[in-house]
Amino acid sequence: MARVALVTGGSRGIGEAISKALKAEGYEVAATYAGNDEKAAKFTEETGIKTYKWNVGDYAASKAGIEQVEADLGPIDVVVANAGITRDAAFHKMTPEMWNEVIATNLTGVFNTVHPCWPGMRERGFGRIIVISSINGQKGQAGQVNYAATKAGDLGIIKSLAQEGARKGITANAVCPGYIGTEMVRAIPEKVLNEVIIPQIPTGRLGEPEEIARCVTFLASDDAGFINGSTISANGAQFFS
Ligand code: NDP
């Protein structure tokens, strides 16, 4: 029987590429989104992948949504916690609302997504947790104190889950993308992209969403069973100390 994968924020950007790649590998895929109904409908029309709408920052909504996915597709074997937002500002201009919104989506959202799936994975003796963190969680980033805190927090989550889940056949890993050419990054003015951002990337280009998706399909596979609590950095050789 096909394994079932849940991808939060799975209908556009990096998540869209992950949903499509998992489907191509033979998984039954459920892709969630927050509010962009038009994009989600287009995505389902193109791919045949069913979408589900809930706010990952809301535990009750996540639990109910996950129960619906499991009723439709069967028990969830693979969780890709990908949904994320930015609310950037210099720290002295960052408001408590900007802090709380990013924490709720990017950090509490990971708890809310993984926690309802965890007991079933333990019972069945198999699970794959993959969190999409960021290079900025590894190195920090001016203007992103909130975002970097959540993405660094993701790494603490997967290292701890890896230790708790290891004997139950569950792995928990992270992928840390650098700059990937999604709508979010392509919206940066071309001059800034070409003169500031791309010169920082030794590979000389943005990453493609499909390059992150391939990391995810590998981490989800049986071949990756001994990789647990690890981080794959996919950033075009942007080294940092
Ligand atoms: P996008 O902005 O293109 O897509 C974000 C997705 O997350 C959308 O599907 C969106 O839904 C969903 N989402 C946002 N907030 C919520 C919420 N509260 N509840 C449920 N779903 C939500 O992002 P990217 O594809 O660029 O990024 C994906 C992940 O990769 C994020 O975690 C991001 O931090 C990380 N990342 C991205 C990098 C990049 O260069 N792009 C670099 C490093 C990390 P909807 O469509 O309805 O708005």
The CATH number of residue 175's host domain is 3.40.50.720
What number is the ipTM of this complex? 0.99
Residue 214 lies in a domain: yes
* Boundaries of domain holding 145: 4-233
Torsion 47-53-56-61 (CA) sign: negative
Question: pLDDT class for 188, splitting at 50, 70, 90?
Answer: confident
CA–CA gap between residue 111 and residue 1 (Å, rounded): 28
* CA dihedral over 211, 230, 130, 149, signed as positive or negative: negative
Whole-number Å distance, alpha carbon 76 to ligand 1 midpoint, is: 21
Quick check: is 239 in a domain? no
SS3 204: coil
How many domains, in total, are found in the chain? 1
Residue 241 lies in a domain: no
**Looking at the domain assignment, is residue 132 inside a domain?**
yes
pLDDT at position 1: 87
86 domain-assigned: yes
Name, in order, each residue with C-beta under 8 angstroms of 29's C-beta and a sequence gap of 6 or more: 4, 5, 6, 7, 10, 19, 22, 23, 49, 50
Q: What is the pLDDT of residues 24-78, one digit of tens each?
A: 999 999 999 999 999 999 999 999 999 999 999 999 999 999 999 999 999 999 9
Residue range 119-145: average pLDDT? Answer: 97
In the reported structure, the alpha carbon of residue 123 is separated from the centroid of ligand 1 by a whole-number distance in angstroms of 30
**Catalytic member of 33, 52, 147, 179:** 147
Determine the residue of 66, 184, 206 to mutate for testing ligand 1's pocket, defined as the one with the most ligand atoms within 8 A of the Cβ atom.
184
Residue 104 lies in a domain: yes
In this structure, is residue 111 part of a structural domain?
yes
Q: Is 147 annotated as catalytic?
A: yes
Ligand 1 centroid–CA 1 distance in Å is 30
CB-ligand 1 contact for 43 (6 Å cutoff): no
Q: Is 82 in the pocket of ligand 1 (CB under 6 A)?
A: yes
80-110 residue pLDDT tens: 999 999 999 999 999 999 999 999 999 999 9
* Ligand 1 near 137 CB (within 6 A): no
